[in-house]
C-alpha cells in the first residue's frame, strides 16, 4: 500500500509543481493521526500524503490533505471491518460518519498552504483522555 500511494502522489506533485494549480487535494486517512492495528503500510502511506501537503506548503504551493475518518457504510474499507475493530474504535472515541455528514464536514475553500484537516466523528470525552493529535481539525 505504501509505495503505490506515495509514488502516485509524488508523481502528481512533480508533474503539477509548475502548473499554477489553485488546489492540490490529497485524500488521506485518519489512521495517520490515530494509528491502526495491523495497518502499518496503510498508516505510513497516508502519513506520506499528509507530509506531502506540508512539503508543498513549504514550497509556497497549494496542498491540502483530507485525513478522512471512518465512514458509516456497508461497502469499501469500512465494510470489511469486524465488530471487534469497530468496538475498539468506538471505545477510542472514533465514530463513523454518514455520507451526508462526511461531505458536509468539508467545504471547498482556500486553506493555508500545507494544511491538513481530519474530517471524522468523535466522542469528545473519550478523545480528551488521549494525547492530542497535532493539526487535526474537526467540525
Sequence-distant (6+) residues with CB within 8 A of 47 are 32
Query: Please, which residues have CB within 8 angstroms of residue 2's CB and are 6 or more apart in sequence?
Result: 41, 42, 44, 45, 48
DSSP letter assigned to residue 133:
P
32-65 residue pLDDT tens: 777 766 778 888 999 999 999 999 999 999 998 8
pLDDT digits (tens, 9 = 90+) for 74-108: 666 667 778 887 787 777 777 888 878 777 766 65
pLDDT in tens, 109-127: 556 666 667 766 665 554 4
pLDDT given for residue 11 in this prediction: 97
List, for residues 11-35, the tens digit of each pLDDT value.
999 999 999 998 899 988 887 777 7
pTM to 2 decimal places: 0.75
Amino acid at each position: 500500500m505504501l509505495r503505490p500511494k506515495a509514488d502516485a502522489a509524488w508523481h502528481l506533485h512533480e508533474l503539477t509543481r509548475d502548473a499554477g494549480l489553485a488546489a492540490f487535494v490529497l485524500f488521506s486517512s485518519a489512521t495517520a493521526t490515530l494509528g491502526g492495528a495491523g495497518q502499518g503500510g496503510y498508516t505510513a502511506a497516508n502519513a506520506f500524503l499528509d507530509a506531502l501537503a506540508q512539503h508543498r506548503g513549504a514550497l509556497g504551493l497549494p496542498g491540502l490533505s483530507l485525513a478522512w475518518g471512518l465512514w458509516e457504510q456497508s461497502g469499501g474499507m469500512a465494510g470489511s471491518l469486524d465488530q471487534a475493530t469497530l468496538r475498539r474504535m468506538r471505545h477510542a472515541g472514533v465514530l463513523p460518519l454518514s455520507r451526508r455528514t462526511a461531505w458536509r464536514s468539508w467545504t471547498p475553500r482556500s486553506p493555508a498552504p500545507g494544511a491538513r484537516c481530519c474530517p471524522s466523528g468523535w466522542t469528545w470525552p473519550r478523545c480528551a483522555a488521549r494525547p492530542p493529535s497535532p493539526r487535526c481539525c474537526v467540525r
